[in-house]
């Protein structure tokens, strides 16, 4: 099995982009967690993986990997922005944020598929719910 880091390095090379320690560290951090990490948290973990990498370099790596389609981000409202591996590098999922307690939950990526298809068919609109958190109230806060 090929790792996300190896696949990302290969895709960067195919695009003629540089394969830098910071870019690889970002991918490695994201591939190694299911947590919803902020840019700052990714920077901290990347520095631990590869001492000497400056946090600003990690932030630039996040931006570049986003432009190249290897990393995506999700706006979680007041919980901030989190980053994930994109496309086939990670399982597709959506984010649900409780407006009461702020907890973020993952939901299957296909859960809104019927709504996505209906919007496309009837309005010609391509829904991209992976980019935001769907807000509601979790079962714990409803009690």
Please state the residue numbers annotated as binding site for Zn(2+): 98, 101, 138, 141
Cα separation of 34 and 90, whole Å? 10
Is residue 115 classed exposed, middle or buried when 0-12, 13-18 and 19+ CB atoms within 10 A define those classes? exposed
Binding residues for Fe cation, by number, are 113
Cβ neighbours, 10 Å, residue 19: 13
Binding site per annotation, positions? 98, 101, 113, 138, 141
Distance (Å) of CA 58 to CA 63, 65, 80, 86, 102: 9, 10, 18, 17, 27
């Amino acid at each position: 099995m090929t790792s996300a880091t190896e696949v990302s390095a290969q895709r960067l090379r195919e695009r003629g982009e540089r394969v830098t320690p910071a870019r690889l560290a970002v991918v490695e951090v994201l591939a190694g967690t299911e947590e919803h990490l902020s840019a700052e948290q990714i920077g901290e973990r990347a520095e631990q993986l590869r001492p000497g990498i400056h946090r600003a370099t990690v932030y630039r790596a996040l931006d570049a990997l986003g432009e190249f389609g290897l990393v995506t981000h999700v706006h979680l409202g007041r919980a901030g922005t989190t980053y994930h591996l994109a496309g086939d590098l990670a399982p597709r999922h959506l984010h649900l944020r409780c407006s009461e307690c702020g907890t973020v939950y993952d939901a299957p990526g296909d859960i809104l598929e019927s709504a996505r298809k209906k919007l496309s068919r009837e309005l010609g609109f391509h829904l991209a719910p992976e980019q935001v958190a769907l807000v509601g109230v979790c079962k714990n806060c409803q009690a």
